[in-house]
Amino acid sequence: MRDHFDLSGHTAVVVGGGGLIGEPICRGLADHGATVVVADLDESTGSTLADDIGESAHFRQVDVTDSEMTERVIRTVVDEFGSLDVLVNTAYPRNENYGQPYEEMTLSDWRENVDLHLNSYFHTAYVASQVMRRQDSGGSIINLGSIYGIQAPDFDIYEGTDLTSPIEYAAIKGAILNLTRYLASYLGRDGVRVNAVSPGGIFNDQQQTFVDQYESRPPLGRMGQPEEVVGAVVYLASAAASYVTGQNLVVDGGWTIC
């Protein structure tokens, strides 16, 4: 069974690979044998990460909101490495006004953020799937969802802080989860599996008041660490999940069961 998690001979593209969750995912996929393409807008962060991982990792700059650039990077990956076996969508594109309180939301900001985030996930998955459908081995697409794509936010945990849960985030992540199900249903006949991973709150040096209030709720009594998302992604990328598609694997310390 251990061999089922071996990703040797697989090429994995992690979009947003230099980010908080993308970085440990890149490391985890490489640790399991994959050739990893760190695809990120930030050249300094992405190239440093690829160099640190070693010869199995390669940086490619991409702006996922630029459709032509995304298509070019995918073509280059296939030309260089011979296949595209795993795509992980972890990017978090947003405009400068993202995260405003509900009362200050404008329709133009709503439209722009939905376009940047949801539409880039769709297009990246679409381009990757077109490659995977032509491969005898198919492929695995993994989208990053969120607990707030499953249920409404608990606004009590933001009391006394300058943080909030943006309305566009909930709408986008909910849409990504149903996009995942649609793609899984449509692409299954071609051997392409499509799944999602939905993390709960991930610690990122947030205000202590927020951390304390968040950690009072989930059964495990704490926020998650970025590295704790990796196992779910490696599983869904690997042969261990060969009969798993259209699923949303929730990694939240039990938040959504309460």
119-168 per-position pLDDT tens digit: 999 999 999 999 999 999 999 999 999 999 999 999 999 999 999 999 99
Residues marked active site are found at 169
Domains defined for the chain, CATH in brackets:
2-257 (3.40.50.720)
The pLDDT value recorded for residue 127 is: 98
Contact 153, 166 (CB under 8 A): no
Summarised one tens digit per residue, pLDDT across range 213-250 is: 999 999 999 999 999 999 999 999 999 999 999 999 99
* pTM, full prediction: 0.98
Give the per-residue pLDDT at 2: 67
What values do phi and psi take at 202, rounded to 5? -105, 130
Q: What band does 1 get if pLDDT is binned at 50, 70 and 90? A: low
195 has which bridge partners? Answer: 142
Average pLDDT over residues 70-81: 98
Using DSSP, state whether 32 is helix, strand or coil: coil
